[in-house]
Amino acid sequence: MSIVLFRVDERLLHGQVVIGWGNQLRPDRYLVVDEKLTVSGWEQDLYRLGAAGTEVQFVTPRVAREKLDFWRLDATRSILLTKEISAMGCLAEGGLLAGEKVNLGGIHHGPGRAEFLTYLHLTEDDISELEKLEAEGVEVTARDLPDTHRVNMKTLLKGKWKYS
């Protein structure tokens, strides 16, 4: 088990991930699964700055699906990150992530997004993506930092629902 964390966080590599989770899980590398970032050198430069020297690999969801088993067996400890729930959903399709835990980190306020937790603002599409993830056998929980309270899907979706 060498993918030590699957996380959805629109900020990808930032303090909470690199310091909060990184200090706890000690990853050797970050795997960023994102279609657009693989072809954007300047964006990769910026995200790498946030990784404090740890290796960062940018891959498309398609490549990630092929490499998933290799990463799992690899001795290198990885944290796998996506910006959107849909990208994680794409990875999970066909039961590829069955039995895994997916952590929801930060998705911030924006148009059409409702607040479920202070760090989690979801659209209706996000919610159906989450339900799809669960149907693929993935255990979804929300937790911004390793030392904060873990919220499971059921509790999460019962939360506040208000457009603002």
Q: What residues make contact with another protein under the rule CB under 8 A?
A: 10-15, 18-19, 36, 40, 42-43, 45-50, 52-53, 108-110, 118, 164
User: 145 exposed, middle or buried (CB, 10 Å; 0-12, 13-18, 19+)?
Assistant: middle
The minimum distance between CB 58 and another protein, in angstroms, equals 12
Residue 81 near residue 17, CB atoms below 8 Å: yes
> Of 16 and 103, which has the nearer Cβ to another protein?
16
> Of 39 and 98, which has the nearer Cβ to another protein?
39
> Of 6 and 47, which has the nearer Cβ to another protein?
47
The minimum distance between CB 128 and another protein, in angstroms, equals 23
The minimum distance between CB 95 and another protein, in angstroms, equals 31
Q: How many CB atoms lie within 10 A of CB 134?
A: 14
* Residue in the block written with tokens 């959805």: 8
The minimum distance between CB 164 and another protein, in angstroms, equals 8
* Cβ-Cβ contacts under 8 Å for 27 (sequence gap 6 or more): 4, 5, 54, 77, 78, 79
